[in-house]
Amino acid sequence: MEGMKSGRSLIYQYLRHDKKFPHVWCPGCGNGILLGSLIRTVHKLGYPKDDIVLVSGIGCAGRLPVYVDFNTLHTTHGRALTFATGIKLAKPHLKVIVVMGDGDATAIGGNHLIHAARRNVNLTAVVMNNSIYGMTGGQYSPTTPYGLKASTAPHGHVEHGFNISRLVEAAGAAFVARCTVYHVPLMDRLLTQAVEKQGFAILEVLSHCPTHFNKMNLLGGAVDSMRWMKEHAVPVEKAKRMAPEALKGKFRIGVLVDRDIPDYQTEYEQVRRRAKEAAPYKLDPQEISKMLESHQIY
Ligand SMILES: Cc1ncc(C[n+]2csc(CCOP(=O)(O)OP(=O)(O)O)c2C)c(N)n1
Ligand code: SF4
Ligand SMILES: [Mg+2]
């Protein structure tokens, strides 16, 4: 009863309950689970609502900021990270969180994702990966699994999907984590870590789309998807102790990467200071070889 009460007060405190509801999401969609997690995270960390900026592109996941009483920006498809980068550089004190779908983040916005990770911009990015373009009717996305169906692949998909987490790790993100919409307490913990991380932090949330992806691929409803997630997810610590054969067909959840590397803002501030002082940037010959070594070409 107490839990219900506090849940209700969070709704009134954080949602645009009197303006933007009912929401557009289908029954059983995973997006509401992320919405709840995001609100709990901000509340627990004690950030004032005015210090949070929630940015999205277009898509079912991209609708999320519409419902929340933070500073919000519902931008164009694939461009959420560009708007978010501008906001963060102009107003560094704000916490900028970006919510994207798999299509938004890795198809039309794929280049922005790679470069935001490479620059290590101080943003928290959440990718709701439901393996499909949900909003526009179930077209395949860069994460649709090989062989499955989409409205644009009625005879089976011939491409292989991106591994989003590996992609952003290789591009240079400081923090990479993965969970599912079934693992809600884990989602809350990972989101907290991502929001507090200095640098580019990304959380991939494996979700489902009962309306299109599940229907076309005979996967049942939301509960069936959740059961599948529960049975196939392996916590990273446990995965380390498992043989590769035992991990076949499974996926890891938890913190995949957590590294302290210089973030864009700190670096940029130093450049600004040098420029202001009109001090020429002198390279120290001993530092040059160190810089080349840290350039890391594999
Ligand atoms: C420039 C542009 N191209 C295409 C579209 C159409 N469009 C809207 S949402 C979307 C894909 C959404 O898929 P995803 O990002 O995975 O989000 P989901 O709906 O699955 O949450 C597309 C192609 C658009 N709005 N703008
Ligand atoms: S179409 Fe799919 S992703 Fe979009 S709201 Fe419905 S269930 Fe969710
Ligand atoms: Mg999608």
Domains of the chain, first to last:
2-269 (3.40.50.970)
- Nearest atom, ligand 1, residue 31 CA: 21
Per cent of the chain over pLDDT 90 is: 86
pLDDT in tens, 83-99: 999 999 999 999 999 99
Instruction: Please work out whether the CB of residue 133 comes within 6 Å of at least one atom of ligand 1.
Output: yes
For β-strands 124-129 and 95-101, DSSP reports them as: parallel
Cα–ligand 3 centroid distance for 148 (angstroms)? 15
Instruction: Please work out whether the CB of residue 26 comes within 6 Å of at least one atom of ligand 2.
Output: yes
Nearest C-alpha to atom 6 of ligand 2 is from which residue? 26
Would you state the pLDDT for residue 246? 97
Helix residue ranges, H only, 142-221: 164-171, 184-196, 215-216
Of 263, 295, 271, which is closest to residue 121 (Cα–Cα)? 263
Cα–ligand 3 centroid distance for 217 (angstroms)? 15
Please tell me the number of the ligand nearest to residue 129's CA: 3
Cα–ligand 3 centroid distance for 144 (angstroms)? 9
Say if residue 22 is preceded by a cis peptide, omega within 30 of 0: yes
Cα–ligand 1 centroid distance for 79 (angstroms)? 11
pLDDT class for 296, splitting at 50, 70, 90? low
* Alpha carbons 186 and 191: distance in angstroms, whole number: 8
Please tell me the number of the ligand nearest to residue 213's CA: 2
- Nearest atom, ligand 2, residue 26 CA: 6
Instruction: Please work out whether the CB of residue 109 comes within 6 Å of at least one atom of ligand 1.
Output: no
For β-strands 201-206 and 124-129, DSSP reports them as: parallel
Question: Of residues 63 and 4, which shows the higher confidence score?
Answer: 63
Residue 252, classed as helix, strand or coil, is strand
Instruction: Please work out whether the CB of residue 60 comes within 6 Å of at least one atom of ligand 2.
Output: yes
pLDDT in tens, 85-141: 999 999 999 999 999 999 999 999 999 999 999 999 999 999 999 999 999 999 999
Q: What is the mean pLDDT of the chain?
A: 95
Specify the pTM: 0.95
Would you state the pLDDT for residue 220? 98
Of 230, 238, 181, which is closest to residue 206 (Cα–Cα)? 181
Helix residue ranges, H only, the chain: 2-14, 31-45, 80-90, 102-103, 110-119, 164-171, 184-196, 215-216, 222-232, 236-240, 244-247, 264-276, 285-294
* Alpha carbons 56 and 291: distance in angstroms, whole number: 35
Cα–ligand 2 centroid distance for 207 (angstroms)? 10
Would you state the pLDDT for residue 100? 98
Which class for 9: exposed (0-12), middle (13-18), buried (19 or more C-beta within 10 A)?
A: exposed
Cα–ligand 2 centroid distance for 257 (angstroms)? 29
Nearest C-alpha to atom 11 of ligand 1 is from which residue? 133
If one residue of 135, 140, 151 were mutated to test the ligand 2 pocket, choosing by the most ligand atoms within 8 A of its CB, it would be 135
Cα–ligand 1 centroid distance for 120 (angstroms)? 25
Residues, Cβ < 5 Å to ion ligand 3: 101-102, 130, 134
Phi first, then psi: what are they for 208, rounded to 5°? Answer: -140, 165
Cα–ligand 3 centroid distance for 209 (angstroms)? 8
Mean pLDDT of 75-80: 98
pLDDT class for 73, splitting at 50, 70, 90? very high
Planar angle of CA 178, 218, 224, nearest 5 degrees: 50
One-letter amino acid of 10? L
* Alpha carbons 247 and 245: distance in angstroms, whole number: 5
